[in-house]
Amino acid sequence: MSKILALDLGDQWVGVAITDASRFFARPFETVTLVELEPYLFILWDERLSSKRAETRQNLIELYTLDSIKVSKCLLITIETIFKKFDISLKDLSFLGAHIGPAPYTTLRVVLATLNGINFAAGTPLIGVNGLTAFLKYLDNTQTNIVLLNAFGNDLYYGISSVKNPSYTLGSENVDKLLHNIAQDISGDINFWGNGSILYKK
């Protein structure tokens, strides 16, 4: 039975998830696509999406959350613990899923280095997912949505989707300049999401 190892990360945590692919995929011989992977990398981001979180959790075998400060010390140990608990080995993994950012540099580097090592050692396919893009895909596309993630130093990573512009606008900017630009360029109701929207709520 194939399994998926997915690593997601935020500014203070890293999520380690093992999923049972047979609960989610009905096509075991087809190539896994980015769209199929993204639900596993989204589960912790925003409490307002609790129904989507609950739906996603049905596919999980196990989920651990690590403090990002301890990730370099504990990540491989946590993965090994999950593997032992459910009698999983590297050869059981269909693919690896990685949140490739935006995220704090050191935490991101540790996560990607770990998954690159597993990919190199076992030859397991590795798929990267942009965190802002994955977040935006889960939101109601009939409204303007802005995802703000803390980039520290009064900066924010941002992702913007709107009815008028179905493609995503992604980037990073100083919080004051970004909010000024949003006020100038976007009219109507806006839904703000992510830890940056909480951090700089006015």
Q: Where are the alpha helices (DSSP H) in the chain?
A: 34-37, 50-57, 71-85, 105-122, 131-137, 175-185, 195-199
Domains of the chain: total: 2
Q: In the structure encoding, which two tokens stand for residue 89, read together?
A: 């080995």
CATH number at residue 51: 3.30.420.40
Using alpha carbons, list the distances in angstroms from residue 198 to 28, 115, 134: 40, 30, 19
Per-residue tens of pLDDT for the chain, all 202 residues: 467 777 766 666 666 666 664 443 322 323 344 455 555 444 444 444 545 545 555 555 566 666 667 777 888 888 888 888 878 888 888 888 888 888 888 888 888 888 888 888 888 888 888 888 888 887 877 889 999 988 888 999 999 998 777 789 999 999 999 999 999 988 888 989 888 888 887 6
Rounded to 5 degrees, φ, ψ at 14 are -130, 130
Complete DSSP assignment for 42-82: -TTS-GGGHHHHHHHHTTEEEEEEEEGGGHHHHHHHHHHHH
pLDDT of residue 2: 60
* 74 and 24 inside one domain: yes
Considering 114, 132, 150, which residue would you say is the last residue of a domain? 132
Residue with tokens 């049905």: 58
* Residue span of the structural domain in which 36 resides: 3-132
